[in-house]
Amino acid sequence: MAADIEQALLQQLADSADGSIPDSGDFATAVGQDHLKVVGIIKSLEAAEMITVEDISHSRFVLTSEAQAYLSAGSPEVQLFNAVPADGITLAQLKSQLPGDVSDVGFKQAMQQRWVALDKSAGEPRVVRKVDSVTDGAQAQLAAVAAGNELPKGEADALKKRKLIKLDTWKTYRVSKGAKFATQRKKQATELTSEMIASGSWRSEEFKPLNFNSLGLPPSGGHLHPLMKVRSQYRKIFVAMGFQEMPTNNYVESSFWNFDSLFQPQQHPARDAHDTFFLTSPAASDTFPEDYLARVKAVHEHGGHGSAGYGYCWKRSEAQKNLLRTHTTAVSSRMLYKLAQEGFKPAKYFSIDRVFRNEAVDRTHLAEFHQVEGLVCDRGLTLGHLIATLQEFFSRLGMKELRFKPAFNPYTEPSMEIFGYSSELGKWMEVGNSGMFRPEMLQPMGLPPDVNVIAWGLSLERPTMILYGIDNIRDLFGHKVSLSMVKSNPICRMGL
């Protein structure tokens, strides 16, 4: 037990003539303890200034694992020599008789020592003996090393070169009495108690020095996932720009609000199970604002508000199908309808929450991601307002330069893909999509005809991967995420 070793060491110091223990290695052997354990105690006694310590460095050659084998089997050159019959043997036969490493090393050594020669005179090369007998000097040397005897430098260097021996170094300690030497370690008090003060015993107490550098236990607190940290930064930006957050607490949506209300035709490819997760139970919704639903049916079938519509037979059953929302634009649609029903007033809304798409999973795409969406609803809004708003929004994300590429969304016209120049990455990248909601979407809701809605969307995952230097989205989100990453990820400030 550690205390016994400590006791034995202090006692031996007290009893020793010169007040020292010459070598902790011998002491460990004497008390039958592992030297490492003794070193631990020596270090703590030294810290308590009960002893002083001097290092003693040791080194000696030890056999490598390869040499261990030769100790019993003989050196490879001797094993090879013994395998060469008096009348010689073909190299191939010889190699087949000895383990691979022995025949190669052995042959080289035996040739070097001129014990054997290669006779190529007749056809296949033959190994022949050049001496009648040999002594296994190498094995003897290895045995000497194993026994701890010194070898002449030349021999040691030769064995070292053959990687048969290696230098083993270790340290022991000469231990002497320290300033605070005692045969008993005085348990250092770790705190000043009222009893000590009352009894006055504090005067004779030895207090454990306070280690002001000790880090102490890190406060165990909650850790925000990087996505949540970036989400809160996006929230701050939206709120600072006067936007209100939309309620997104419904992953399950009806096709009506997710697609139909957005004037997305019922045969649109995004509406089949290849792209969308449809629910089997509850498979369908049936509570809709019927008057509004009728107007949506009408605009899909016949258009209106300057639109030709799609001219197909719109089916209620299709709109009833429940799904995992494919975009938070479904929430925008509900909020705009509500705004129209409650009597239009200008509004700025945003949403940040999960959306689900039955897409192939790859380094940057999972079957779900967090969509960030913003919209401004007001009279006379134009594409210019959208571009200016995007510039303001992305400049707060640190993206001062934007470019816009015409695009297509079923629910916005005109639509633009947004590209931003990332100074961190030194390249242009797609940072989102945007557009002006179509009148075929807004008018059936009951919004005044001169009200326009500019909107845009992006993801949370892409900026978070860039900010945290995460290359594969699986390392950011999902069951493979290492909790240490969540616990140790720094705070990344965007755009400041």
Among 214-222, 378-386, 423-431, 473-481, which window interacts with ligand FB9 (CB under 6 A)? 423-431
Provide, rounded to whole angstroms, the least separation between the CB of residue 445 and ligand FB9.
15
| Residue 434 in the binding site for ligand FB9 (CB under 6 A) | yes
Give whichever of 266 and 459 is closer to ligand FB9, judged by the CB atom: 459
Q: Amino acid identity of 415?
A: S
| Residue 444 in the binding site for ligand FB9 (CB under 6 A) | no
Q: How far apart are CA 147 and CA 420, in angstroms?
A: 73
| Residue 172 in the binding site for ligand FB9 (CB under 6 A) | no
Provide, rounded to whole angstroms, the least separation between the CB of residue 406 and ligand FB9.
13
What is the greatest pairwise CA distance in the chain? 114
Among 70-78, 142-150, 182-190, 431-439, which window interacts with ligand FB9 (CB under 6 A)? 431-439
Provide, rounded to whole angstroms, the least separation between the CB of residue 475 and ligand FB9.
17
Provide, rounded to whole angstroms, the least separation between the CB of residue 317 and ligand FB9.
27
Provide, rounded to whole angstroms, the least separation between the CB of residue 359 and ligand FB9.
7
Among 34-42, 59-67, 303-311, 425-433, which window interacts with ligand FB9 (CB under 6 A)? 425-433
| Residue 329 in the binding site for ligand FB9 (CB under 6 A) | yes
Contact yes or no for 368/460 (Cβ under 8 A): no
| Residue 226 in the binding site for ligand FB9 (CB under 6 A) | no
Query: From the list 74, 106, 226, 457, which residue makes contact with ligand FB9 (rule: CB under 6 A)?
Result: 457
Query: From the list 456, 476, 477, 489, which residue makes contact with ligand FB9 (rule: CB under 6 A)?
Result: 456
Q: How far apart are CA 416 and CA 254, in angstroms?
A: 27
| Residue 466 in the binding site for ligand FB9 (CB under 6 A) | yes
Give whichever of 340 and 431 is closer to ligand FB9, judged by the CB atom: 431
Contact yes or no for 477/328 (Cβ under 8 A): no
Q: In this chain, which residue has its C-beta nearest to ligand FB9? A: 457
Provide, rounded to whole angstroms, the least separation between the CB of residue 492 and ligand FB9.
10
Contact yes or no for 231/336 (Cβ under 8 A): no
Among 58-66, 303-311, 338-346, 458-466, which window interacts with ligand FB9 (CB under 6 A)? 458-466
| Residue 412 in the binding site for ligand FB9 (CB under 6 A) | yes
Give whichever of 322 and 371 is closer to ligand FB9, judged by the CB atom: 371
Contact yes or no for 351/458 (Cβ under 8 A): no
Give whichever of 126 and 231 is closer to ligand FB9, judged by the CB atom: 231
Site for ligand FB9 in 17-56 (CB under 6 A): none
User: What Rg, from alpha-carbon coordinates, does the chain have?
Assistant: 41
Q: How far apart are CA 423 and CA 395, in angstroms?
A: 12
Q: Which residues pair with 21 in a beta bridge?
A: 175
Site for ligand FB9 in 272-311 (CB under 6 A): none
Provide, rounded to whole angstroms, the least separation between the CB of residue 168 and ligand FB9.
55
Among 61-69, 248-256, 379-387, 427-435, which window interacts with ligand FB9 (CB under 6 A)? 427-435
| Residue 435 in the binding site for ligand FB9 (CB under 6 A) | yes
Please count the residues of this chain forming the interface with ligand FB9, following the rule CB under 6 A.
25
Among 63-71, 250-258, 318-326, 397-405, which window interacts with ligand FB9 (CB under 6 A)? 397-405
Instruction: Supply angle C-alpha 15, 29, 16, rounded to 5.
Output: 10
Q: Which of 408, 409, 335 is nearest to 376 (CA)?
A: 335
Q: How far apart are CA 41 and CA 460, in angstroms?
A: 54
Give whichever of 56 and 429 is closer to ligand FB9, judged by the CB atom: 429
Among 16-24, 130-138, 334-342, 453-461, which window interacts with ligand FB9 (CB under 6 A)? 453-461
Q: Is 463 exposed, middle or buried (0-12, 13-18, 19+ CB in 10 A)?
A: buried
Q: Which of 373, 383, 376 is nearest to 458 (CA)?
A: 373
Among 26-34, 301-309, 340-348, 426-434, which window interacts with ligand FB9 (CB under 6 A)? 426-434
Provide, rounded to whole angstroms, the least separation between the CB of residue 207 and ligand FB9.
54
Give whichever of 159 and 442 is closer to ligand FB9, judged by the CB atom: 442
Q: How far apart are CA 374 and CA 240, in angstroms?
A: 13
Q: How far apart are CA 92 and CA 125, in angstroms?
A: 9
| Residue 477 in the binding site for ligand FB9 (CB under 6 A) | no
Site for ligand FB9 in 349-388 (CB under 6 A): 371, 373
Q: Which residues pair with 189 in a beta bridge?
A: 207
Q: Give every CB contact of residue 410 below 8 A, 6+ residues apart in sequence.
A: 262, 263, 264, 265, 268, 270
Give whichever of 41 and 494 is closer to ligand FB9, judged by the CB atom: 494
User: Which residues would be at the binding site for ligand FB9 (CB under 6 A)?
Assistant: 329, 371, 373, 397-399, 409, 412, 420, 429-435, 455-459, 462-463, 466, 494
